Amino acid sequence: MAGIYVHIPFCKSKCRYCDFASFPDKIGLAESYMACVYREMAMRAPELADYKFDTLYIGGGTPSVIDESYIAMLVAAAKKHYALSADAEITIEMNPGTVSASKIDMYKKVGINRFSVGLQSANDRLLADLGRVHTLNQFITCAKLLKGTNFSVDIMIGLKGQTTQDIAQAIEVAAMYGASHISMYALTPEDGTPVYTDYLNGELPDGDEVADQYEFGVKKLAQLGFARYEVSNFCKKGKESRHNLNYWRRGEYIGFGVSASSCINNVRFTNTFDLDEYFKCIISNHFAVIDRTEITEEERRDEYVMLALRTAAGVDLKEYEKLFGVRFEREYAAAIAKNAGFLDVSADRVAIKGEHLFVQNNIIIDFLKD
Ligand code: SF4
């Protein structure tokens, strides 16, 4: 299985915590940018002619901020140039402040069958503090428009002044309006963002407080029927994100647009983060890749183990042996013994126990060879 990712780097305004490639002041370039993305897709197609793709993920930025006709042409370009399976999962990210009934109708018409909505919080004061452009009411309007579809909601923990009641409310609102999938992420104060100043000023909850918020959120999600399948991802039965599962299983993927990453045939490459450079490269019929790394066998194993241990299912022992020709239990006997209290070990899997998943980095480090 392989996936396609397309990055749309435009937003209405910049959130205070954001360090993604998104350019609110350049939205006027959307038409030219999309023309370049379609061209990049065509340029890359010959080398991927033998690939079958099961997912298309349109992320950003805020894909829903641009005219829906560009999205329709994007899906058409993906179908024209790549073997996208008939039942492919096609996801678009949406900001509730940028949606309309006509946009959602168009998305559905062109085959988009999964929606990922950034709610982040159900408290308007926290939303304003994060610099989000939407309110809770706009989320509710958006969710009503998505009624009956397969949609996911992003929420955040670790926010300044956030209470467990705020977290419960965000989860309850998402569930009540029909989300089939919820991603619950802890705010990461990235250097250079305004939120980083809050962090330096000691205004954000500390690690222990965030861990408590996470455990609270996990319980709330479980009560409402959302099972954890990855440290930050929860869903109703059968509603896992196929696109993300492919990443976590070290599947192959191709990315288009500014900052997009790809991993094909054990080579990872990343496009430029600079919009002008991206335009220049594509217009002159060159790829916009700034970084290309061949992944060694050892790195492959490290990645596989690290990603698998983030999931509730953990490492599939048979699959590991098939991929790497050695038995995981033997290869990692010392790390398994050292972390025995934190692991569920069965005849076919090794997984981090649910209650320790949030601090998985402390455990995973013992499994890395580098
Ligand atoms: S909507 Fe997302 S990509 Fe856009 S500024 Fe906010 S966090 Fe960044």
pLDDT tens string 73-87:
999 999 999 999 999
Residue closest via CA to ligand 1's atom 7 equals 18
Assigned domain for 272 exists: no
Closest CA to 77 of 42, 127, 46: 42
Cβ(156) – ligand 1 distance below 6 Å: no
Of 74, 136, 61, 135, the C-alpha closest to 106 is 74
User: 308 and 159 in one domain?
Assistant: no
Residues 6 or more apart whose Cβ sits within 8 Å of residue 50: none
Distance 15 CA to ligand 1 centre (A): 5
Is residue 356 a part of any domain in this protein? Answer: yes
Is 36's C-beta closer than 6 angstroms to any atom of ligand 1? no
Q: Are residues 57 and 199 in the same domain?
A: yes
Sorted by sequence, the CB contacts under 8 Å of residue 365 that are 6+ apart come out as none
Report how far ligand 1's centroid is from the alpha carbon of 19 (Å).
8
Residue of the nearest CA to atom 5 in ligand 1? 14
Question: Are residues 241 and 308 both part of a single domain?
Answer: no
* Residue 139 maps to a domain: yes
Q: Has residue 277 been placed in a domain?
A: no
- CATH assignment of the domain containing 314: 1.10.10.920
**CA–centroid distance, residue 11 to ligand 1 (Å):** 6
Tell me which of 205, 228, 246 is where a domain ends.
246
Q: How many degrees, rounded to 5, is the angle at CA 357 between CA 351 and CA 362?
A: 95
Long-range own/partner contacts, residues 295-298 (CB < 8 A, 24 or more apart): 295/263, 295/266, 295/267, 295/268, 297/324, 298/369, 298/370
pLDDT at 370: 60
Same domain, 333 and 189: no
Whether 229 maps to a domain, the answer reads yes
Q: Do 74 and 183 reside in the same domain of the chain? A: yes
Instruction: Mark which of 225, 246, 267 sits at the end of a domain.
Output: 246
For ligand 1, whether the C-beta of 14 sits within 6 Å is yes
Low-confidence ranges of the chain (pLDDT < 70): 369-370
323 with 239, same domain? Answer: no
Asked if residue 333 and residue 229 are part of one domain, the reply reads no
pLDDT at position 359, please? Answer: 85
Q: Directed axis angle between helix 101-109 and helix 68-81, to 10°? A: 10
User: Looking at the structure, do residues 12 and 135 belong to the same domain, yes or no?
Assistant: yes
CATH of the domain at 191: 3.20.20.70
45 & 188 share domain:
yes
Q: In what helix (H) or strand (E) does residue 333 lie, and over which residues does it extend?
A: helix 333-338
Q: Is residue 252 part of a domain?
A: no
What are 304's two structure tokens? 């596989």
Q: Which of 227, 246, 265 is a domain's end point?
A: 246
Q: How far is the CA of 242 from the centre of ligand 1 (A)?
A: 23
Residues 86 and 223 in one domain: yes
Q: Do 308 and 235 share a structural domain? A: no
Best residue among 26, 62, 99, 153 to mutate for probing ligand 1, ranked by most atoms within 8 Å of CB: 62
Asked if residue 239 is part of any domain, the answer here is yes
Nearest CA-CA partner of 125 in 136, 115, 114, 117: 136
Q: Does the C-beta of 61 come closer than 6 Å to ligand 1?
A: yes
Element (H, E) at 241: none
Same domain, 318 and 199: no
| Euclidean distance between CA atoms 7 and 34, whole angstroms | 10
The number of domains in the chain is 2
Q: Which of 358, 150, 355 is nearest to 243 (CA)?
A: 150
168, part of any domain: yes
Range of the domain at 307: 301-367
> Is the CB of residue 95 below 6 angstroms from any atom belonging to ligand 1?
yes
Could you identify the atom of ligand 1 that is nearest to the CA of residue 131? 6
